[in-house]
Amino acid sequence: MPTEAQRFGSDLRLLGDLVRGNDRQPGHDLFVTRRTATGGIDLATRAGVPNLEQALLLRFLTRAGELTVLGHSDYGSRLHELIGELNDETNRNRAKLYVLQALEAESRVAEVLSVDVTPDPTVRTQINIVAAVKTIDESTPLTVAFPFLLGEG
List domains and CATH numbers for the chain: 4-149 (3.10.450.40)
Residue 14's pLDDT band (cuts 50, 70, 90): low
Please give the DSSP secondary-structure letter assigned to residue 80. G
pTM of the complete model: 0.77
Nearest to 119 by CA among 144, 149, 79, 76: 149
What span, in angstroms and rounded, lies between the C-alpha atoms of 76 and 106?
10
Q: What is the mean pLDDT of residues 69-94?
A: 93
What span, in angstroms and rounded, lies between the C-alpha atoms of 116 and 147?
12
Q: What is the mean pLDDT of residues 114-141?
A: 92
Q: How many CB atoms are located within 10 Å of the residue 21 CB?
A: 22
Per-residue pLDDT at 152: 65
Instruction: Answer whether residue 21 shows pLDDT above 60.
Output: no
Where are the extended beta strands (E) located within the chain? 10-12, 32-34, 41-43, 45-47, 109-119, 126-135, 141-149
